[in-house]
Amino acid sequence: MITWWQIILLSALAFWMIIDQLTVYWVNNPLCIGMISGLIMGDIKTGLIVGATLQLMVLGVSTYGGASMPDYMTGAIVGTVYAVLAGKGTQFAIGLAVPVGLLMVQLDVLARLANTFFQKRGERFINENNPKSAGRNAWLGIFSWGFSRAIPVFLLLLVGNSIVKAILNAIPVWLTNGLKVSGKILPVVGIAILLRYLPTKKYLSYLIIGFVAAAYLKIPMLGVALLGLALALINYQRQSEAQPKAAVSEYENAEGEYEN
């Protein structure tokens, strides 16, 4: 069962997490949101597992230049709650959290659109030489952002409770098992998107080093991160030393054009 104060707290968390992403950047990731949702639901481990799986899906997905991305923080809240309530395993809840995260893209777009309204009002106050009112419109967007996350979570938790249980009972076993496998392989998408974003082909050797360290040598993740840090530092030092020389090697050729 979910109590009314849990619904309120989780809705408040939904409001805060998007504001957090736009301002202080403390907990704005599915992993931490999953953990906090788990804390609120009294099952921190489930929250961590749901959050961690969703975290792996968004590894390479970051919001730049105003592009909307699937909102797996909302997914983490809803997924954690469903996982705790249904008790049918976490991978299964992730299968439900993913569509929620995907649908949230639409509401992200809506919030960004709504803020154009504050932009227009701000411009009007600037032309009227009214700095105070213009300044206010520069932060009123907090409400469009916050409620774009809080309201759907509130509704999903309020009406979702009984509906989700009914759905859960109706789902056949092969689909439950299938969703478990999907939950396991979905992180592949996050990893692949990240590899597309990074210059993977140019630095493929580092990807291989990391893979060998984990798959063959069984080094834990923190250890691999330290290995990566060492490689990064070596690269930084070598390149720093090489840089003045590189600048010299850029010379003007006979035609008067610069060449590297």
Partner 1 sequence: MKTSENKSLTKHDLFRANWRWLWASQLSWNYEKMMAPGYFYTVLPFLQRFYHDDELVEMMRMHDQFFNTNAFTGPFIIGMDLAIENHQGYAAKDTVAGLKTGLMGPLASVGDTIFGVIIPTVFGSIGAYMGLKGSPIGALMWIAVNLLIFFLRFSLLPLGYYQGEKLIDSAEGKLNLITQSAILLGLTVVGALIPTVVTVNVPLVFQTGKVTLKLQSVLNEIMPSLVPVLLVAFVYWLLGKKKVTSTKVILFVLVLGIVLSYFNILGV
CB of 76: closest distance to partner 1 in angstroms?
A: 11
Q: Does 12 bind partner 1 (CB under 8 A)?
A: no
Q: Write the DSSP string, 17-75.
A: HHHHHHTT-SS-SHHHHHHHHHHHHT-HHHHHHHHHHHHHHTTT----TT-----HHHH
Size, binding site for partner 1 by CB under 8 A: 112
Which one of 159, 163, 207, 249 is in contact with partner 1 (CB under 8 A)? 207
CB of 3: closest distance to partner 1 in angstroms?
A: 23
Cβ proximity to partner 1: between 92 and 154 the closer is: 92
Cβ proximity to partner 1: between 172 and 256 the closer is: 172
Contact by Cβ (8 Å): 104, 152: yes
CB of 86: closest distance to partner 1 in angstroms?
A: 17
Query: Residues 143 to 202: which contact partner 1 by CB under 8 A?
Result: 145, 174-175, 177-189, 191-200
Task: Report d(CA 82, CA 164) in Å as an integer.
Answer: 7
C-alpha distances in angstroms, 245 versus 117, 164, 238, 240? 53, 65, 12, 10
CB of 23: closest distance to partner 1 in angstroms?
A: 5
Q: Rounded to an integer, what is the distance from CA 256 to the centroid of its chain?
A: 49
Which one of 55, 74, 80, 148 is in contact with partner 1 (CB under 8 A)? 55
